[in-house]
Amino acid sequence: MGSDSEAEKTQQKEKERKKLLALAPIAKPLAGKKLCKRTLKLVRRAAEHKCLKRGVKEVVKSIRRGHKGLCVIAGNISPIDVITHVPVLCEEADIPYIYVTSKEDLANAGATKRPTCCVLVLTKPTKGELGAEEQEKLNEDYKQLGAGMSIMISKRNPSLVTMFALLSCGYVFSSYQE
C-alpha cells in the first residue's frame, strides 16, 4: 500500500516538473501551487455564473470594449506569439493578469473541453445580474486571490502593489459600473 502512494506521488511530481519545463519565458508573474489552485477555483466559479470570456479573441475584444476583471493566461502556450500581446493590453487597460502553468487545467476550470490560452474573469456578467449570494461568493474568491497576488507581486515589483491592493480589498467588484 505504501509503495503505491509513493509511486503516485512521484508520478504527480514528474507531471508537475514537465509542466514547469514547458513554460514560456514570458510567463511572469507565474502563480505558485496554492495561488494557482485559488485562481482556477475563481475561474470555475466564474464559468458557473457566466462571468467568463474564453480564448484570445474574446479576451482581446472584451478588454478593448472596456470590460474589467482578471485575466488568467496559460504559461505553456506554443507558439508564444499567440499571447504575447495580451499582457500589454491588460497593462494599458489596468487589468491585472496572472499566468498559470497549464492550458489544460485552465480549460478544465473554465468548463471547456479544448485547451484554452487565456480567460478573462469579468466583474459581473455581460447579460443580467448575479444574485447577492453568488456575488458575495465571487467577491470572496476574488479577495483571496487578490491578497495572494499582492504578496507575490510585492516581492518582485513593489510599484505594482497599489493596483493589486485595490484588488484585494474587493474594490473592483464592489465599485465597478459600466
Phi-psi region of 128 (alpha: psi -120 to 50; beta: other; left: phi over 0): left
As a residue count, the chain comes to: 178
User: Residue 38 falls within a domain, yes or no?
Assistant: yes
User: Residue 112 falls within a domain, yes or no?
Assistant: yes
Per residue in 15-24, pLDDT (tens digit) is: 777 777 778 8
DSSP 157: -
User: Residue 71 falls within a domain, yes or no?
Assistant: yes
Residue 22's SS3 state is coil
User: Residue 16 falls within a domain, yes or no?
Assistant: no
Per residue in 115-147, pLDDT (tens digit) is: 999 999 998 777 777 777 787 887 777 777 777
Per residue in 41-72, pLDDT (tens digit) is: 999 989 988 889 999 999 999 999 999 889 99
User: Residue 4 falls within a domain, yes or no?
Assistant: no
Domain limits for position 150: 22-122+130-175
CATH number at residue 37: 3.30.1330.30
Distance CA 22, CA 3 (A): 29
User: Residue 160 falls within a domain, yes or no?
Assistant: yes
> Which pLDDT band holds residue 152 (cuts at 50, 70, 90)?
low
> Which pLDDT band holds residue 168 (cuts at 50, 70, 90)?
very low
Domain count, the chain: 1
User: Residue 109 falls within a domain, yes or no?
Assistant: yes
User: Residue 169 falls within a domain, yes or no?
Assistant: yes
Residue entry with cell 507575490: 152
Residue entry with cell 504527480: 12
Please classify residue 64 by burial: count the beta carbons closer than 10 Å to its beta carbon, then call 0-12 exposed, 13-18 middle and 19+ buried: exposed
